[in-house]
Structure 1
Amino acid sequence: MIEWVSLSAEVRPVPRPLATPLVWATAFGGALVLVALHTLFVGTDRPGLALAGLSLLAVALGLCARFTAAPGTAVLCWLFLNGFAIPPVGTLTWAAPRDTLWLASLCAAALVGTVLARIVHARAAYRRITIGSAPMAAEPEDWRGSD
């Protein structure tokens, strides 16, 4: 006997990503704070630490953002890294190999965060829909045996 059971009764929606302008505003404020703290405590002679901190920020923002927010997040983080974490402070410069690598790594970090979030949400949604959660039919009386 086949019994049809609606699976939509227990299905919860996958969390929606945040709006891109909100992610970019958070990237702006977060990058400002991170680079200011880096400049205050470390100085401008070690931009690798600032790049690592901004990459972690990009990953964290990618966890709650859309794919389309990744390039803007990377550019905002790079602007603060280039403008305030390396000398001359307050001046944007372009050194092709270095800045291309920095921009690519920041964009990759944002994309890694977004991909990781999508995988986690997809696995959670898959685990919520299980065949074993359907109610089972009662067994026939004569199958149990006699006492």
Structure 2
Amino acid sequence: MIEWVTLGTGPRPVPRPVATPLVWAGAFAGAPLLVALTNLLAGSHGPALALTALSVLAAVLGVCARFTAAPGTALLCWLFLNGFAIPPAGALSWTGPRDTAWLGCLLGAALAGTTVSRLAHARAAHHRLTTAGRDPDDGRLP
């Protein structure tokens, strides 16, 4: 039996997050570009600009990602920050409090981006479901 339905009616589904490997590929491609750009603009003497840029990248990538992608995104951004934004370039090092704070900042940014996105999508879906049955003349549910 064929059932005719009008396209575009009914609630739209919440968008699915992008696959985690694609998010990590975005971090792997975007992080070195941002570090190179910040090194050109400010040099490698002050990593604060690079940390800020990479935090924004992590948050933007988090918008389209699952929560499980956040640790890997933060780690990839930290690797490029640690390896190329602070002297000596190309050498990874671990300075306990500083690198812990940097990893925390990057992880927090990725989680914040994902949280904001999930809440916005949930709110929009709830709004679509609750306003779908309303009569436009009186504003009350039928």
TM-score normalised by the shorter chain: which range applies? 0.7 to 0.9
Question: Structure 2 matches for 1:1-147, cutoff 5 A?
Answer: 10-130=10-130, 133=133
Measured against aligned partners, the alpha-carbon deviations of 1:15-35 in whole angstroms (never above 9, x if no partner) come to 000000000000011101000
Q: C-alpha root-mean-square deviation of aligned residues, in Å?
A: 1.5
SS of the residue 2:14 aligns to: coil
Question: For the residues of structure 1 that align with 2:108 and 2:59, how far apart are their CA atoms?
Answer: 9
- Read off the aligned partner of 1:25 and give its amino acid letter: A
Question: For the residues of structure 2 that align with 1:56 and 1:10, how far apart are their CA atoms?
Answer: 35
Question: For the residues of structure 2 that align with 1:95 and 1:132, how far apart are their CA atoms?
Answer: 55
Shift of 1:39: 1.0
* Structure 1: unaligned runs, 5 residues or longer: 1-8, 137-147
Shift of 1:131: 5.5
Question: For the residues of structure 1 that align with 2:42 and 2:135, how far apart are their CA atoms?
Answer: 61
Q: Over alpha carbons, which structure has the higher Rg?
A: 1
Question: For the residues of structure 2 that align with 1:131 and 1:34, how far apart are their CA atoms?
Answer: 43
Identify if the C-alpha distance between structure 1 residues 104 and 15 changes in structure 2 by more than 3 Å, giving closer, same or farther: same
Question: For the residues of structure 2 that align with 1:18 and 1:130, how far apart are their CA atoms?
Answer: 27
Identify if the C-alpha distance between structure 1 residues 25 and 131 changes in structure 2 by more than 3 Å, giving closer, same or farther: closer
* Structure 2: unaligned runs, 5 residues or longer: 1-8, 137-142
Question: For the residues of structure 1 that align with 2:79 and 2:59, how far apart are their CA atoms?
Answer: 17
TM-score by length of 2: 0.86
SS of the residue 1:129 aligns to: helix
Percent identity, aligned pairs only? 62
